[in-house]
Amino acid sequence: MKIGIAAAGSGGHVFPALAVADALVAMGLTKDDIIFFGGDRMEAETVPGAGYPFVQVDMHGIRRSLSTDNLTLPLKIKRATSVVGETIEEHNIGAMVVFGGYVSGPAGRAARKRRIPLIIHEANAVPGVANRMLASSATTVYLAFEPARAKLRNGIVVGNPLRQVFEAFDREGRHSTARDLYGIDRDATVLGVFGGSLGSAALNEIAAQVATDQSRSFHVLHLTGAPHYDQIASSAADVAGWTVVPFEKEMEWFYAACDVVISRAGAITVSELHATATPAILVPLPAGKGYQALNATDLVDGGGGIVIAQEHNEEIIAAAIDLLMDEAKRKTMTETAVASRHSGVAATIAAHVLEVARDDTK
């Protein structure tokens, strides 16, 4: 049995797709049985790097600025749909799972034309255009966050598929190793700050403000984002208790090292914070029609996070310090987050895909 997976553009699409692919392998498929479709962004390196076959299509989304590229988009969609369709036929792909991004449209269209099951997963609280257009003809629509049901009413809220390490996250078991990894005293109270893989100038400013406060009694673990690292590392060199790292590929160590985290509210970040039950101050990116604020809704309603707008720097800092100084409050947030978090999402989706997939090899 062969399964097609389409995911492109960002980690918010690609990493959940890889988590489901890994779950399919755990259920008996080989990596060669799972064929990914994507473009030329991060998926072009990340997917082959994980050992999965990858079919690259010439495709992009609508350019926000005036661009002649938009004039060629209909032709590119047609060609990309043809490439995906030919691959479906060549490999007898029995189901297509799309995770969003510009490749989802052609992949979904090709799946519908060949009458194979189409399964959608939407990682964000505000669904993308491609997933909205495909939803009415999908076999099943899975959602990460409850607010997405406003646009995809036939969706089933299951959460975001995460790497297996987050399914059985053991904070106590990882705590000492995580602190040693970053060179932080095992008994320290730690505030983590990060603004996504590329960093956030606004959150970096907050981290610097906190770290340079001479009255501070806790450690600051700061993921700066690679573009900001050199400048911030220079500033932090002579400041005790301020550890700066450009980025972290294995975020489970970061969460295990932190008592409280200040972060953006990207879909995967929110899901990882929920899975690890890390008390969080979420500072949504003030763009994209407020989608990050909506991403945070389920975690906040579940008691594991607090949302504060970016312009309220002092309020963000005060809330973080309050949590760092109040162990009982942190414990309550952790316990309520554990009670409300999703689990086994990748396995749930993978099992359904295997159940509905058409198997022409029988």
pLDDT in tens, 176-210: 999 999 999 999 999 999 998 788 999 999 999 99
Residue 362 covered by a domain = no
pLDDT over 90 (residue 334): yes
Phi and psi of 137, rounded to 5°?
A: -110, 10
> Are both 236 and 94 inside the same structural domain?
no
For residue 5, the cross-strand partners are 36, 97
91-148 per-position pLDDT tens digit: 999 999 999 888 999 999 999 999 999 999 999 999 988 899 999 999 999 999 999 9
Provide the residue type at 146 as one letter: E
> Are both 156 and 189 inside the same structural domain?
no
> Are both 31 and 80 inside the same structural domain?
yes
Residue 104 covered by a domain = yes
> Are both 282 and 270 inside the same structural domain?
yes
> Are both 323 and 283 inside the same structural domain?
yes
49-90 per-position pLDDT tens digit: 999 999 999 865 554 544 555 556 577 778 889 999 999 999
Find the domain containing 150 and state its range: 2-160+344-356
Q: How confident is the model at residue 22 (pLDDT cuts 50, 70, 90)?
A: very high
Residue 361 covered by a domain = no
> Are both 114 and 231 inside the same structural domain?
no
Cα separation, 107 vs 67, in Å, equals 24
> Are both 155 and 235 inside the same structural domain?
no
Q: Above pLDDT 90, what percent of the chain?
A: 84
Report the chain's mean pLDDT, rounded to a whole number.
92
Phi and psi of 194, rounded to 5°?
A: -155, 150
> Are both 138 and 178 inside the same structural domain?
no
> Are both 46 and 187 inside the same structural domain?
no
pLDDT over 80 (residue 251): yes
Going from the C-alpha of 28 to that of each of 3, 33, 34, the distances in angstroms are 12, 10, 11
Residue 182 covered by a domain = yes
343-362 per-position pLDDT tens digit: 999 999 999 999 999 886 55
SS (H, E, C) 268-333: HHHHHHHHHCCCEEECCCCCHHHHHHHHCHHHHHCCCEEECCCCCHHHHHHHHHHHHHCHHHHHHH
Whole-number pLDDT of residue 100 = 85
Cα end-to-end distance, the chain, whole Å: 9
Q: What is the SS3 assignment for 164?
A: helix
Residue 330 covered by a domain = yes
> Are both 186 and 282 inside the same structural domain?
yes
Which CATH number does the domain housing residue 298 bear?
3.40.50.2000
Count: domains in the chain: 2
> For the whole model, what pTM was predicted?
0.91
